[in-house]
Amino acid sequence: MKYDIIVLGSGPGGYVTAIRASQLGFKVAIVEKESLGGICLNWGCIPTKALLKSAQVFDYLKHAADYGLTVNEFDKDFGAVVARSRNVAGDMSKGVQFLMKKNKIEVIMGTGKLKPGKKIDVTDKDGAVTELSADHIIIATGARSRELPNLPQDGKKVIGYRQAMVLPEQPKSMIVVGSGAIGVEFAHFYNAMGTKVTIVEFMPNVVPVEDEDISKQFERSIKKAGITVMTNASVEKVDTSGEGVKATVKTANGEEILEADILLSAVGIKSNIENIGLEEVGIATDRDKVLVNAFYQTNIPGYYAIGDIVPGQALAHVASAEGITCVEKIAGLHVDPIDYGNIPGCTYATPEIASVGLTEKAAREKGYELKIGKFPFTASGKAKAAGTPDGFVKVIFDAKYGEWLGCHMIGAGVTDMIAEAVVARKLETTGHEIIKTVHPHPTMSEAVMEAAAAAYGEVIHI
C-alpha cells in the first residue's frame, strides 16, 4: 500500500496536514489509533469549551437579577453537562470523518510504528499488521498529560485532564496543581459548578507565561470568584489511602496539608514519542522533542514531524500551521518559515486571557524603549452593558519605530479579539496606524485602539 504522504496522527496537526496535502494533489493516508481529531477535538480544546459554556450559562442564571431578570428555580445536572460536552466532541470528530472522505484521504485505524525505508506498520484492534509505505511520512502524534513522580495519576483520586472531563459525579472539593491554561480552565469550570477549588502554583504568579499585569488581574478575579490560590507552592506528596486525597504542600511558611475529593494534575504535557519507531529509524530527539529544521524535516530524509512533538508552542493552531507549511514545502511551493514570535495564546477561563508577542518584562530585557498603553473595560460601554467590566487591554510599542511588540488582554471575549494584533504585527503595523484605524462602537475591540492611543497620550475615554 503505497502513498505519496502518510500522516501518523489525526489531531489538528495531522488531519489539517492531510487535507492540505490532498488539495495539493498528493495521494494521502492518515493513521489514527483512537479517534479522528485527536486530543484537541475529543479530549482537549473542543469538549473543554463546551464545559466552560455550560459554566457560563449557569453563572448567568446565578446573576440573572443583575440583568433585571427573575429566575425562581434553576439547578445543574452535572451528568448532562458532561454528556453535552461529549456530544459536541463526537459531532466534531464526525466532521473530520466527512472531511477525510471529501478530500479522498484514506483513514487507517490502528497503532502506527515507523520503520526504515519510509514505511509504517499499522496494528489494528485485532492485532493484524499492515505495512504502508510513502515518499514522505509526517509524524503528528501529539502529547498527553505529564505525570510527575510525586503525583502519580490513578485516574480516580489523582487525575489528568481526560478524567477531569468525564467525572461520573461532581466533586465537592478539588485541588488543581498547575495554573497554566489547562489548570485554570478546569479550576474555573468546577468552581462555577459549585466545587470548592484550590490552585497550587509553583511559580510566583498564576498563568505564569503571561504578562505580569495580566497574571495579577487574573488572580484577583479568580479569588473574587471564590477560588483559593497558593503561589510559590509545590505539592510534595499525596496520600490517597483515605476517602479522598491529602496533599502535602510546601510553601514559604512551611508545609501545609490540603484535603479534597480529587486532585487534578495540570503540570504540563508529555510528547508522544515513545514506541513509535523513532529509534529504529534513527530520528534524532532531544529533551522529549523530535529535532526538525524550519520546514519540519527530521535528520532522516523522507520523515517529518509537526505539532506538540517538536520544539515550539504546544498549541492546536501551531500544529495546523506547521503541517500546512510542511506539505507546501514538500510540494515545492514558496513558503516562509513560521514566525514563532507572533503566535497567539488563549486561555478560556473567566475572565479570558489572550496574548501575542513580548511581555513588558521580556521587551525591557531586550533593551527596547517602550510606549505602553492600557485601556480598562470598566471604561468600555459594551463591557459595562454586558455586565463584564473586569479586565483590560495592554499594548506595548517600541518607542523608536512604533513597532507593535506585544498585546495582552484579559476580559470577556478577548480570545476573539487577539487576531487583530496578530494580523497587525504580521503586517508590521505601527501604533499610530492602529490609532487611525476606525474601530466600531460600541464593541469590546475598540479597547485595542484606545489602548494604543493611551500609549501615545491620545486616549479619549479614560
Q: Is 332 annotated as a binding residue?
A: no
In angstroms, rounded to a whole number, what is the distance separating the alpha carbons of residues 208 and 145?
19
Please say whether the beta carbons of 32 and 78 come within 8 A.
no
Instruction: Kindly give, in sequence order, each residue whose CB lies less than 8 Å from that of residue 17, ignoring residues fewer than 6 positions away.
Output: 7, 138, 140, 306, 320, 323, 324, 326, 327
Q: Could you give the count of Cα atoms lying within 13 Å of 84 in the half-sphere of its Cβ?
A: 14
Q: Is 142 annotated as a binding residue?
A: no
Q: Is 268 annotated as a binding residue?
A: yes
* Catalytic residue, candidates 63, 408, 432, 441: 441
Q: Is 184 annotated as a binding residue?
A: yes
In angstroms, rounded to a whole number, what is the distance separating the alpha carbons of residues 292 and 263?
36
Residue 441 annotated in active site:
yes
In angstroms, rounded to a whole number, what is the distance separating the alpha carbons of residues 409 and 428?
20
Q: Is 274 annotated as a binding residue?
A: no
Q: Is 11 annotated as a binding residue?
A: no
In angstroms, rounded to a whole number, what is the distance separating the alpha carbons of residues 121 and 113?
5
Q: In what order do the strands lie in the sheet with 404-411?
A: 345-347, 352-357, 404-411, 392-398, 370-376
Q: Is 201 annotated as a binding residue?
A: yes
Q: Is 182 annotated as a binding residue?
A: yes
Dihedral sign, Cα of residue 333, residue 141, residue 355, residue 392: positive
Q: Is 183 annotated as a binding residue?
A: yes
Residues noted as catalytic: 441
Binding-site residue positions for FAD: 49, 112, 308
Binding-site residue positions for NAD(+): 178-185, 201, 268
